[in-house]
Chains A and B, each alone.
Chain A
């Protein structure tokens, strides 16, 4: 039976890269999840492109970081979301280096990195309803 997982998704037909909003998603994530007042520390990043388009950096819960983690600090929870156990993490940042979505990051001054936990706080904050928490098939672990 195919395993499912929750993950954050964005509808780029609704998101305009912050041109029609105040990056409420990033602010909410930073404040409530990361416990920081700097939106740049949020686990998702929305940017407006010079060509009029927009781009989003969002964790797709692919699980590559689970495979490379040298301590097994990264695991999927019951909903299939990849969570970091900061008690086990040794701060090696292989997860950051190997994240093909560039969604894993660290905040200067903090030892353990951060990632999206598909909590939905940004979904509620988005004034354009561009974000959703979807349930999608969980990819098989792969060699990275």
Chain B
């Protein structure tokens, strides 16, 4: 462990002495000296025109082939960019039989046409797609950090990674010099917080150049689990360290390591205001300044994102009984105040710049500096933790019964550096702890890990086991779906109970919201393309708290509109948060206030001003609908994507156990009287659970019927010929997939 540079006056005003942070740069020259050049290919760097370079980069690690592919007009018209480009490239790379660890599986990273503008908050996202090791269908992940924009400003609208290397390799794209290299990298550190720091220094040509370098990497957890994620960096100039943002869901990091990729490094040009060469810069400038002012004026009394990041909602979720606690059994806990936003506000350095791309005045990428680790290979090191975001506080915290902020930060840190998804880890650990509580697991079965609620040290040790590739950690790292199957096969517990409490759908773990009292959210989770992640539809407040969508038809309309609207962020390289985590002062007086109409218009204007293609709010939705339905059909092609795959574990729909029912008996009894029309008097808890279960399951199925109809799908969940044609995605290979279901 070495200590860094002398106190830098520039860094002092952040009120933390960052010079005490453990640095890992010692010996990096020797690490570089061990690199062996595999292949080097020159290219002509370019900047986008109207948001597009009109070419993507293809790299095959089996053959070391590196080539450019054209972006066709059809790709731009139908798939726009980002997730759309990723899915289109992936579709052509795989067959229905392809699984995550087949060499033809790809990881595609694409930022989208508007990505990289520096004027509008939340405009630097990369979209990553791959066939997931957890779900066997396409996964998509929306991630910050500078890699996507730097890739684009080097000259490529997407990066397509296929094949498998024989030895660990680094792919280096130098967008200034016009060089692409694959290098064998035998001595590289394994875990992201070390590796990315070393590589940033290694590939930057000067201290000033570090800001133009971004690294994509994962960690030891991805080597030994199915839940590996990717860390995308940016150089935090004020803190003088790399920061990490995660493409978390679905195990893309596991695919990355299966290909023996140690890291991707992009060195881009110096960023200026109009790298995209947009059509109408004045509109983009005006729209950006308008939102900066809105955030300045409204954020302090709305979501306080600039101070607290997304963790601002911990106590709000608790207050509405929505904070997942003890594996989604309950929605609140008396100790929530210990992990509430006030705690994180004090722990996260204030008055610094926390945007994960230039110009993000929402600045939610908070950093908790000065954490000294208590466990694991970096015990005693002082580190900066990226987060905690709400999902981490809830998943790693309350859902596992952990309310100690230091341990929570340490779990967050190790998940990140080991390259494992924090949301997934939170939900799988919560499942394990409930299995432990109910005797499905015990000390013998966990190899000595006492995984009682709140035992953070056991949780951390399980995580270290994954990184070391040993013990019960190896089982945990398979995720909830595989654990369920294993525990049932071994006869360790009641199969129905195990299925009910294992919070996964399509193989992906639920993210951290309690959906039991919001039917719309139950659908919002289970009817998703990739699996239950809130980025597709977050309707709990609209449904349960504000009661804006009371009927089945209202809910279906919300489950039509919002998944499509939110898909659009991923086509263009946007973040969802500046859409509704700050709203105009007069928003509530607008028609359809829940859609934040002024902000939707901002996006229409930004797209039109970037590309020169004048769109409307309706066309925006159509852009999403093409990609969304294409992804649904992609799922069907891979063997999922049907009604049976959209069903939910009962824990997400209603109370599974007596304790759950009895803890909220008044609520459930009232519902039985008022909604179901049955008098609960004289009934046992088990009888009442059964009555609720039938009612809630039927209601869920009915919702599915209404939503499918609204989406233009059959009752089996297959997009109809009419819908496919209307969307213009009626390619022969698409029709071939749906034909067996549509006749």
Task: Report the nearest B residue to A63, measured CB to CB.
Answer: B13
Select one of B13, B288, B291 contacting A141, CB under 8 A.
B13
B307 close to A (CB within 8 Å): yes
Assess the A143–B351 pair: CB atoms within 8 A: yes
Binary flags per residue of B1-42, CB closer than 8 Å to A gives 1, else 0: 000000000100100000000000000000000000000000
Assess the A93–B353 pair: CB atoms within 8 A: no
Binary flags per residue of B274-286, CB closer than 8 Å to A gives 1, else 0: 1000000010010
B707 close to A (CB within 8 Å): no
Assess the A94–B351 pair: CB atoms within 8 A: no
Assess the A111–B273 pair: CB atoms within 8 A: yes
Chain B residues whose CB sits within 8 angstroms of the CB of A143 once the complex forms: 307, 350-351
Q: How far is the CA of A113 from the CA of B13 in the complex (A)?
A: 24
A103 to chain B, nearest CB (A): 14
Chain A interface, number of residues (Cβ within 8 angstroms): 23
Chain B residues whose CB sits within 8 angstroms of the CB of A47 once the complex forms: none
Assess the B293–A97 pair: CB atoms within 8 A: yes
A53 close to B (CB within 8 Å): no
Assess the B272–A111 pair: CB atoms within 8 A: yes
Select one of A91, A111, A142 contacting B351, CB under 8 A.
A142
Known: A72-B238, A111-B273, A112-B273. A94 touches B359 (CB 8 A): yes
Assess the B10–A111 pair: CB atoms within 8 A: no
B382 close to A (CB within 8 Å): no
Assess the B118–A97 pair: CB atoms within 8 A: no
Assess the B237–A97 pair: CB atoms within 8 A: no
| From B119, B237, B295, residue with most partner A Cβ within 10 Å | B119
Cβ < 8 Å to B, chain A residues 57-75: 67-72
Assess the A108–B282 pair: CB atoms within 8 A: yes
A71 to chain B, nearest CB (A): 7
Interface of B, helix, strand, loop or mixed by DSSP: loop
Q: How far is the CA of A71 from the CA of B210 in the complex (A)?
A: 12
A33 close to B (CB within 8 Å): no
Binary flags per residue of B334-353, CB closer than 8 Å to A gives 1, else 0: 00000000000000001101
Assess the B360–A93 pair: CB atoms within 8 A: no
B292 close to A (CB within 8 Å): yes
Task: Report the nearest B residue to A140, measured CB to CB.
Answer: B13
Chain B interface, number of residues (Cβ within 8 angstroms): 30
Assess the B359–A70 pair: CB atoms within 8 A: yes
Assess the B237–A71 pair: CB atoms within 8 A: yes
Chain A residues whose CB sits within 8 angstroms of the CB of B118 once the complex forms: 90-92
Interface of A, helix, strand, loop or mixed by DSSP: loop
A33 to chain B, nearest CB (A): 20
Assess the A68–B289 pair: CB atoms within 8 A: no
Assess the A93–B288 pair: CB atoms within 8 A: yes
A23 close to B (CB within 8 Å): no
Chain A residues whose CB sits within 8 angstroms of the CB of B355 once the complex forms: 70
A124 close to B (CB within 8 Å): no
Assess the B13–A71 pair: CB atoms within 8 A: no
A144 close to B (CB within 8 Å): yes
B577 close to A (CB within 8 Å): no
Chain B residues whose CB sits within 8 angstroms of the CB of A67 once the complex forms: 13, 351
B440 close to A (CB within 8 Å): no
Chain B residues whose CB sits within 8 angstroms of the CB of A144 once the complex forms: 296
Select one of A70, A71, A98, A142 contacting B360, CB under 8 A.
A70
A57 to chain B, nearest CB (A): 15
Chain A residues whose CB sits within 8 angstroms of the CB of B290 once the complex forms: 97
B361 close to A (CB within 8 Å): yes
Task: Report the nearest B residue to A67, measured CB to CB.
Answer: B351
A30 to chain B, nearest CB (A): 20
A residues adjacent to B (C-beta < 8 A)? 67-72, 89-94, 96-98, 106, 108, 111-112, 141-144
Known: A70-B358, A97-B288, A97-B289. 19 other contacts (CB 8 A): A68-B353, A68-B361, A70-B360, A72-B237, A72-B238, A90-B271, A90-B358, A91-B118, A91-B272, A92-B358, A92-B359, A93-B119, A93-B292, A94-B292, A97-B290, A97-B292, A98-B293, A98-B296, A111-B272
